[in-house]
Amino acid sequence: MEVGFLGLGIMGKAMALNLLRHGFKVTVWNRTLSKCEELVEHGASIGETPAAVVKKCKYTIAMLSDPSAALSVVFSKDGVLEQICEGKGYIDMSTVDADTSSKIYEAIEKKGGYFLEAPVSGSKKPAEDGQLVILAAGEKALYEAAIPAFDVMGKKSFFLGKVGNGAKMKLVVNMIMGSMMNAFSEGLVLADRSGLSQQTLLDVLDLGGIANPMFRQKGPAMIQNSYAPAFPLKHQQKDMRLALALGDENAVSMPVAAAANEAFKKARSLELGDLDFSAVYEAVKGSKSPA
């Protein structure tokens, strides 16, 4: 199966590599074209533009930073829309809001193409290990055609119905995750300032009813003030912002998420946006920058 892949950041690179490893023919494009070279070493071809990739491939996957990147890759000059046509499918796996996804869907449908949104749960390591959770919605026939690729990239795929449902599900999940990360950070600070061992707190948490992979994986690095980016903080703050907008639309009061968003914004103002989202711990501590 030949697929196109647009966007080779932390996630896109790992996902495209998995496809190559499993025998897919992959044509890649990235805004910073030099990032394609590593994929070429693993057998990928390069498309000079998103339009060139779509022209060559029946199915094209995108994994881009945010709504503005997702829209730009489709609607700009040399974008996806120039070559999408009947018989071709476009699968956007970026985390965006339902409105962005719908705009892309409508434009692609007008040209006779198929569209599926398919944001993912799981981070850098699950992407490398093909263990993502895929939250797809849109054209069912395209979902079925994409299952061989989803099976390589993920451990479980959900088909959630009409376009927008995948985006919304992803934002709800990340809203919960961002709020949990803030509560966890406050707990680490409180333990430390009240004279307790943070490592003992991690041990206690891991044995109880709120044990979870995020505390287990991020906690030891956080207490060492180490935040190598798996999920960049700027993207988590984007997701909190989009989830709060979804709350606005549906008149859902979310004071916990709103407070968490403020902490992520504060962390961005401290120039921690490119670090892992666990660096919000620095903002909660009140640091000027990571120690």
User: Which positions are catalytic?
Assistant: 170
* Residue type for position 149: A
Q: Is 27 exposed, middle or buried (0-12, 13-18, 19+ CB in 10 A)?
A: buried
Measured between alpha carbons, how far is 58 from 267 in angstroms, rounded to an integer? 41
Measured between alpha carbons, how far is 31 from 162 in angstroms, rounded to an integer? 29
Residue of the chain from 30, 49, 83, 121 that contacts ligand O=CCCC(=O)O (CB under 6 A) = 121
Minimal distance in Å, beta carbon 218 to ligand O=CCCC(=O)O? 9
Minimal distance in Å, beta carbon 149 to ligand NDP? 16
Residue 49 near ligand NDP by CB under 6 A: no
Quick count: other Cβ atoms within 10 Å of Cβ 48?
Answer: 11
Residue 174 near ligand O=CCCC(=O)O by CB under 6 A: yes
* Cβ–Cβ < 8 Å for 159, 137: yes
Residue 231 near ligand NDP by CB under 6 A: yes
Residue of the chain from 60, 95, 157, 198 that contacts ligand NDP (CB under 6 A) = 95
Residue 18 near ligand O=CCCC(=O)O by CB under 6 A: no
* Cβ–Cβ < 8 Å for 288, 270: yes
The strand pair at 132-138 and 154-159 is best described as parallel
Q: Based on CB atoms, which residue is closest to ligand NDP, 95 or 198?
A: 95
Q: Based on CB atoms, which residue is closest to ligand O=CCCC(=O)O, 240 or 270?
A: 240
Residue of the chain from 18, 94, 157, 179 that contacts ligand NDP (CB under 6 A) = 94
Measured between alpha carbons, how far is 131 from 267 in angstroms, rounded to an integer? 29
Residues numbered 62-101 forming contacts with ligand O=CCCC(=O)O, rule: CB under 6 A: 95
* Cβ–Cβ < 8 Å for 33, 56: no
Measured between alpha carbons, how far is 132 from 122 in angstroms, rounded to an integer? 5
Residue of the chain from 27, 30, 101, 123 that contacts ligand O=CCCC(=O)O (CB under 6 A) = 123
Residue 231 near ligand O=CCCC(=O)O by CB under 6 A: yes
Give the SS3 label for residue 211: coil
Minimal distance in Å, beta carbon 184 to ligand O=CCCC(=O)O? 13
Minimal distance in Å, beta carbon 179 to ligand O=CCCC(=O)O? 13
Minimal distance in Å, beta carbon 120 to ligand NDP? 5
Residue 175 near ligand NDP by CB under 6 A: no
Residue 278 near ligand NDP by CB under 6 A: no
The position carrying tokens 């395209």 is 142
Measured between alpha carbons, how far is 65 from 95 in angstroms, rounded to an integer? 7
Cα–Cα nearest to 199, from 223, 218, 216: 223
- Sites of contact with ligand O=CCCC(=O)O (CB under 6 A): 95, 121-123, 174, 231
